[in-house]
Structure 1
Amino acid sequence: MADNAISFVLNNLSQLLVRQASLLFEVDDKVRSLQSELSMINVLLKTSQGKTKKEIDKEVVRQIRDVAYEAEDIIDTFIVNVAMHKRRTMLERMLHYFEYAKLRHNVAEKIESIKATVNEIRDNKLKFADIFQQEAESSSSTIKEEERVQLMHKKRRNVEEHNVVGFVSESKAVIQLLKEKSTQSNVASIIGMGGLGKTTLARKVYNCHEIKSYFGCRAWVYVSNDCRVKELLIGLIKCLMPNLQYEHGMAVDELKLMVREFLTTRRYLVVLDDLWKTQDWDEVQDAFPNNNNGSKILITSRLKEVASHTSPYPPYYLQLLSEDESWELFSKKVFRGEECPSDIEHLGKQMVKSCGGLPLSIVVLAGLLANKENSHREWSRVVGHVNCYDNLPARLKPCFLYFGMYPEDFEIPLRPLVQKWVAEGFIKQSGTRNAEDVGEDYLYEPIDRSLIQASRVNINGDVKACRIHDLLRDLCISEAKEYKLFEVCRDSNILEGSRPRRVSIQCGMDRYVSSSNNDHSCVRSLFCFDRRHSYNSGEWKCLFKCFKLVRTLDLEMDMCMKVPSNLSLFIHLSGIWNLKQLRHLHTNGSIIVLRGRHSSKASVEVMWNLQTIYFIKFNREIACMLEKGRFPKLRTLGLYISSVDKHNVQHELLSSIQRLTHLRKLQLSFQLKYKVQKPSNYNQMEWHVGCKPIELLHSMQQLSNLSTLFGLCNV
Structure 2
Amino acid sequence: MLTPKTSVVSLFLFYSLLDDLNLIMIQKYEMSIVVKDQIRTIIEELKSLRSFLEDMEVQKHPELEGFLIQTSDIAYEVLYILTSYAPVWYLNLRLPQVMEKIKLIRLALEKLNKYPTEKVSSQDEKPLEDIVVDFHADANRIAGMLKDFENSSQKAPFIEEDISVGLDDEANEITEILLGNQKEQQIISIWGMPGLGKTTLAKKIFSDDRIVQHFHIRISCVISQTYDKKNTLIAILTSMSSLERDELSQLDEDTLGGKLYQSLCGEEIRYIIILDDIWEDVWSDLHRYFPENQSGSRILFTTRFQKIGFQASDKSIVRNLRFLTNDEYWKLLQIKVFQDVPCPLELVDIGKKIARNCDGLPLAVVVIAAVLANMKKNKTKWEEVAVSLSSYISNDNSCMKILELSYSYLPMHLKPCFLYFGAFKEDREIPVQKLISLWVAEGFVEKVKQKNSNSVSYGYLTDLISRGLVQVGKRRSNGGVKTCYVHYLLHEMCLTIAEKDNFMKVIKG
Q: Offset of 1:380 from its aligned partner?
A: 2.2
Question: Structure 1 pair 2/212, CA: closer, same or farther in 2 (3 Å)?
Answer: closer
1:38-117 to 2 correspondences below 5 Å:
38-39=46-47, 47=56, 52=62, 65-78=72-85, 103-107=87-91, 109-117=93-101
Whole-angstrom distance in 2 between the partners of 1:140 and 1:397 = 16
| Secondary structure class of the residue paired with 2:407 | coil
Which residue among 484, 491, 508 is the counterpart of 1:466? 484
| Secondary structure class of the residue paired with 1:487 | coil
Question: Structure 1 pair 23/320, CA: closer, same or farther in 2 (3 Å)?
Answer: farther
1:430-469 to 2 correspondences below 5 Å:
430-469=448-487
Question: Structure 1 pair 450/261, CA: closer, same or farther in 2 (3 Å)?
Answer: same
1:8-19 to 2 correspondences below 5 Å:
8-18=16-26
Question: Structure 1 pair 401/289, CA: closer, same or farther in 2 (3 Å)?
Answer: same
Amino acid at match of 1:251: D
- Greater percentage in helix: 2
Q: Offset of 1:23 from its aligned partner?
A: 5.5
| Secondary structure class of the residue paired with 2:462 | helix
Amino acid at match of 1:15: L
1:284-299 to 2 correspondences below 5 Å:
284-299=286-301
| Greater Rg by CA | 1
Give the match for residue 29 of structure 2: 22
Q: Which runs of 5+ in 1 are unaligned?
A: 79-101, 491-506, 508-715
Question: Structure 1 pair 180/75, CA: closer, same or farther in 2 (3 Å)?
Answer: farther
Asked if 1:303 corresponds to 2:305, the answer is yes
Question: Structure 1 pair 477/325, CA: closer, same or farther in 2 (3 Å)?
Answer: same
Give the match for residue 242 of structure 2: 242
Asked if 1:416 corresponds to 2:419, the answer is no
Amino acid at match of 1:308: F
Give the match for residue 172 of structure 2: 172
Whole-angstrom distance in 2 between the partners of 1:165 and 1:216 = 29
1:224-235 to 2 correspondences below 5 Å:
224-235=224-235
Amino acid at match of 1:70: E
Q: Offset of 1:259 from its aligned partner?
A: 0.1
2:224–2:426 CA contact under 8 A, matched in 1: yes
| Secondary structure class of the residue paired with 2:506 | strand
Question: Structure 1 pair 12/374, CA: closer, same or farther in 2 (3 Å)?
Answer: same
| Secondary structure class of the residue paired with 1:272 | strand
| Secondary structure class of the residue paired with 1:166 | coil
1:398–1:426 CA contact under 8 A, matched in 2: yes
Whole-angstrom distance in 2 between the partners of 1:360 and 1:255 = 35
Give the match for residue 344 of structure 1: 347
Question: Structure 1 pair 298/126, CA: closer, same or farther in 2 (3 Å)?
Answer: same
| Secondary structure class of the residue paired with 2:428 | coil
Give the match for residue 273 of structure 1: 276
CA offset digits 1:343-389 (Å, max 9, x no partner): 11111111110013310000101101011122112222222225111
2:195–2:362 CA contact under 8 A, matched in 1: yes
Q: Offset of 1:235 from its aligned partner?
A: 0.5
CA offset digits 1:286-322 (Å, max 9, x no partner): 1111112111111111111222221222411111110
1:196–1:358 CA contact under 8 A, matched in 2: yes
Whole-angstrom distance in 2 between the partners of 1:310 and 1:238 = 25
Structure 1 length as normaliser, TM-score?
Answer: 0.58
Whole-angstrom distance in 1 between the partners of 2:277 and 2:76 = 38
Amino acid at match of 2:421: F
1:221–1:273 CA contact under 8 A, matched in 2: yes
Whole-angstrom distance in 2 between the partners of 1:130 and 1:482 = 16
| Secondary structure class of the residue paired with 2:230 | helix
Q: Aligned residues: percent identity?
A: 29
| Secondary structure class of the residue paired with 1:439 | helix
Which residue among 356, 362, 366 is the counterpart of 1:363? 366
2:333–2:366 CA contact under 8 A, matched in 1: yes
Q: Relative contact order: is structure 1 or structure 2 higher (C-alpha 8 Å, sep ≥ 6)?
A: 2
CA offset digits 1:563-582 (Å, max 9, x no partner): xxxxxxxxxxxxxxxxxxxx
Q: Offset of 1:460 from its aligned partner?
A: 2.2
Question: Structure 1 pair 469/341, CA: closer, same or farther in 2 (3 Å)?
Answer: same
Amino acid at match of 2:29: S
Asked if 1:32 corresponds to 2:40, the answer is yes
Whole-angstrom distance in 1 between the partners of 2:81 and 2:181 = 68
1:582-601 to 2 correspondences below 5 Å:
none
Q: Offset of 1:7 from its aligned partner?
A: 3.5
Q: Offset of 1:11 from its aligned partner?
A: 2.7
1:421–1:439 CA contact under 8 A, matched in 2: yes
Q: Which runs of 5+ in 2 are unaligned?
A: 1-7, 109-124, 135-139, 390-404
CA offset digits 1:229-252 (Å, max 9, x no partner): 000001111011124684423221
Question: Structure 1 pair 129/311, CA: closer, same or farther in 2 (3 Å)?
Answer: same
Whole-angstrom distance in 2 between the partners of 1:487 and 1:383 = 33
| Secondary structure class of the residue paired with 2:218 | strand
Q: Offset of 1:449 from its aligned partner?
A: 0.9
Question: Structure 1 pair 25/275, CA: closer, same or farther in 2 (3 Å)?
Answer: farther
Q: Offset of 1:421 from its aligned partner?
A: 1.4
CA offset digits 1:647-678 (Å, max 9, x no partner): xxxxxxxxxxxxxxxxxxxxxxxxxxxxxxxx
Q: Offset of 1:273 from its aligned partner?
A: 0.9
Q: Offset of 1:140 from its aligned partner?
A: 6.8
Give the match for residue 91 of structure 1: none
Question: Structure 1 pair 111/187, CA: closer, same or farther in 2 (3 Å)?
Answer: farther
